[in-house]
Amino acid sequence: MGKVGTGWSRTVSSQIRKQLDSVVSPKSKLTRPIRKPKATWVEPKFYADVEYRDITSEGLLRASSFKRLSRNDKS
C-alpha cells in the first residue's frame, strides 16, 4: 500500500534487519510473481505497525509512519 518514509532511526533499521535476516527465504511467498531481481525474500513471520492519515484514491497510504515490527506468532 505504499512506502513508509519516516518513523525509524539507524538503530531501529539495524534491529529490523537482524530480525529479518533470521527468516530469509530462498524464494518469494507471494501468490503473484513480482520481478525484483535484487530482493531478499523472507518468511512472513513479522508485521509492521504503521500509522497513517488516509488512503488515497489509488489505494496508497498517505502520511504513513513506521511504529514497530512485531512477530506474528500465528504464522
* pLDDT of 29 over the 90 cut: no
* pLDDT of 75 over the 80 cut: no
Residue 21: predicted pLDDT: 95
* Reported pTM: 0.69
Summarize pLDDT for 32-74 with one digit per residue, the tens: 888 888 889 999 899 999 999 999 999 999 999 999 999 887 6
Helices (H) and strands (E) in the chain, counts: 1, 4
| CA distance linking residue 69 with residue 66, whole number of Å | 8
Top-ranked range on mean pLDDT: pick from 5-9, 22-26, 69-73: 22-26
